Each structure stands twice: as C-alpha cells, then as structure tokens.
Amino acid sequence: MSVMLQDVGLVFSPGTPFEARALKDIDLEIEKNQIVAIIGRTGSGKSSLVQMIAGLQRPSSGTVLMDDLELYKKQTDRKLLRRKVGMAFQYPEHQLFEETVEKELSFGLLKQGYSQEEIEQRIKKAMSFTKLEDSMLPRSPFELSGGQMRRLAIASVIAMEPDYLILDEPTAGLDPAGRDEILGGLQAWQKETKKTVILVSHSMEDVAKLADFIIVLSDGQVVLADQTRNVFSQGELLQSVGLDVPQTTALMLELIKKGWKVPTYALTVQEAFEAILSQLREDSKDLPLGEIEKPKEVS
C-alpha cells in the first residue's frame, strides 16, 4: 500500500488575473516504510505537494490515493484520514498553544478518545524519540528553548503514531546540534515503527544522510523520483534546476572535471575518502600508501 498521485494538477485563483499554477501533471507513487525527501527551489511546489498528500489541499485535477483511500472524494472517512496522517508545518513551534508540555502532548490523543494509560505510554515513547525530559511535562511550552519547542511540536505529532508523518522543513532555523537531534530522532522513530516519513528540506546534506527516496520538483513538475544514490549521481541535472548537491558529491564532480576516475556521487565523507584513496592506489603504484592513514573518525 502506498500514496499515489495520478495526473494531479493545482491552480490557484483559476480564471482570474492572479491565476498561478502550483503543480502540473504529477504522477507519483510513494512506497511505505521509508523516509522520502521532497526537494526543489523555493516556489517549486514542495509545500503544496505535501499539503495535498496530508489531505489539506484539494487538487484542481487528478486523483490522490492513500492506501486505496481516495482523499478528496466526498464519501472519504475524514476521521480515518486524520488517524493515518500527521503533519508538522514549517516552524511547528508556532502550533503550540497548551498550558503545559503534558497537555500539549495529550491534546490530540484525548480528542481521539484514547485511554489515560495509552496516552501516557504514547507520550513517553514520543518524548524518548525527541530527547525531551520527563521534568519538562509540567512546564509551559513557551519556557522551553527554540529547539526544545520544535521537538515538542514534532513529538505531539509522533505521539499520534500516524502511518504517514509529514514534515515541512523540520530543521529550518536550527543550529547543527538541534538539527542532528531532530533528524536522529526521526530516523530512529521510522526504523522502529516502520512508518513512512515524508519531509521537505533545503539541506542536501540532511537529505543525503536521512532519505531513502527523493522527489525532485521544478516549476511544479516532478523532474526526478528515485533512490537517494541514483538522484545524487545526477549532480549536473540537480544543478540545472537550481539545486545544490551534498558537498561530498560536489567534490566528486570537481575531481571528475579534472580527470579523476571517481564515482559521480559520495553521500558521506567516508565514501569520498574511500573513493579518492582507491583512485590514488590505482594511479600511483609507487605511492607510499603505508603512510596514508584512515581518519580516526569520519562522519
């Protein structure tokens, strides 16, 4: 079962001088049990696409299916949809409103009618994934740091245990430590629950480390949808639509231009190191390789 978009289009203010096409001819399938990243320049249609998948933006044309449930059909069970999908918008800390952290985490679960015991179990698990301490429960969300507020907002969605967790720029504006905490928690949550995570990101480094599958948008159309390695192996195509590539992949492309026989991509520093060392061994038979030591820690 999966998410499918069939010949989907989205036009804002149709038939007026302000008409604008956000999405065009989208045919796409997103398989379950993976982390999917949606990338593209500002205005490429990323947010419109994830809001459509979340059941928040009706398409102007085409069909959106989620596990054979047609999202925008009148007969669709909206309660079932709300249980299937959880979404955190960009800067999700702006969604916080309750008096305490505990009430914030409990709000959606209470609305869904879960028992107190089930609520406590889900809250504990969500806080574990997002590195929130039990001592925070009685505190006001607005007393927390910016990074903690972000993690709380995401935890409140994770606590609902949706089949599809959708995040629009979950690490925007955070420092590297805050970003790593959130991404590490999301990766651990997906690995344990086997749920599907769909996220929008501008950071190619984050996408390279996290995503199993990437969808590339340009001017409201899908220009590429493939496994992460296959996408980043097409660095020139990504650059042609105004996107960066991970720094390690950019290094590989520069080396290729200078005549090196290395792969067209490297997702991590470790992979780049091994590719360069392999080339040195191949082309420099008399190089004193014994003097070349592998870094103690490469991340």
What residues does each domain of the chain span?
A: 2-97+142-236, 248-285
Q: Is 101 exposed, middle or buried (0-12, 13-18, 19+ CB in 10 A)?
A: buried
Q: Is residue 204 exposed (0-12), middle (13-18) or buried (19+ Cβ within 10 Å)? A: buried
Whole-number percent of the chain with pLDDT over 90: 67
For residue range 151-195, what is the model confidence (pLDDT) as tens digits? 999 999 999 999 999 999 999 888 888 899 999 999 999 999 999
Per-residue pLDDT, averaged over 26-35, amounts to 96
The whole-number pLDDT of residue 280 equals 87
Q: What confidence category does residue 82 fall into, taking pLDDT thresholds of 50, 70 and 90?
A: confident
Q: Could you tell me the end-to-end alpha-carbon distance of the chain, in angstroms, rounded to an integer?
A: 35
User: What is the reported pLDDT for 290?
Assistant: 54
pLDDT tens digits for range 215-238? 999 999 999 999 999 999 888 899
Q: Distance between CA atoms of 11 and 62, rounded to whole angstroms? A: 12
Does residue 146 carry a pLDDT above 80? Answer: yes
> Which pTM does this prediction carry?
0.87
**Quick one: which of 198, 175, 205 has its CA closest to 267?**
205
Length of the chain measured in residues: 299
Q: Give domain 2-97+142-236's CATH superfamily.
A: P-loop containing nucleotide triphosphate hydrolases (3.40.50.300)
Residues 120-126 have a mean pLDDT of 97
Residue the block writes with tokens 């990504």? 238
Rounded mean pLDDT of 90-105? 94
